[in-house]
Structure 1
């Protein structure tokens, strides 16, 4: 798992699974603590993702909300969206809305 920052955006790439949840969780909370603005977690370059990883994102979203801020997920592909729906975590996270071409 590679984690890079780009302003308020945390960019993840590689395999986001149970082996990388501690590293990602720490990066998210560090990033939230270091920015007064809302934070975006970009999953565009994530190859694989499991439910444990999505739970980390759901809990981080809830914690950010408690502080009056937003944590938004960007670049959730079909597999991640499907897993969010199947695990019922979709209602706990905020996905970035993408404009569809007319």
Structure 2
């Protein structure tokens, strides 16, 4: 178990560690501070997040909806298979946009 670390880099929030019920408030606060504080679109980089639980998936889905209502765009980058699987199984993936990365292999 690793605690959640959040780094802001321009219009990107980089998350590192466990994104689950214990860290959702911290992540939610960082997302909303960015969306409503900077009035800019947001990319959430989940490259270093091994998996998410249902509560975390809900935070991402509701944040995407709220950002859209505020006239902003929220996109997820670097989703690992376990993250994509939870978004699909929870049916919350339809509310968030996954950034497509070209295959460099």
* Alignment TM-score, normalising by the size of structure 2: 0.91
1:43 paired with 2:43, answer no
The equivalent of 2:73 in structure 1 is 70
Cα RMSD for the two superposed structures = 1.3
1:8 paired with 2:23, answer no
Once the two structures are TM-superposed, the CA of residue 68 in structure 1 deviates from its matched residue by 1.2
Moved runs in structure 1, 4+ residues, more than 4 A?
none
1:24 paired with 2:24, answer no
The equivalent of 1:100 in structure 2 is 103
In structure 2, the gaps of 5 or more residues are none
3-state SS of 1:29 partner: helix
Once the two structures are TM-superposed, the CA of residue 50 in structure 1 deviates from its matched residue by 0.6
Deviation string 1:36-82 (CA, Å, 9 cap, x unpaired) is 32100110011331110010000000000001110100110111111
Separation in structure 2 between the aligned mates of residue 81 and residue 73 of structure 1, nearest angstrom = 10
Confirm or deny: 8 A CA contact 2:51 2:80 kept in the other structure. no
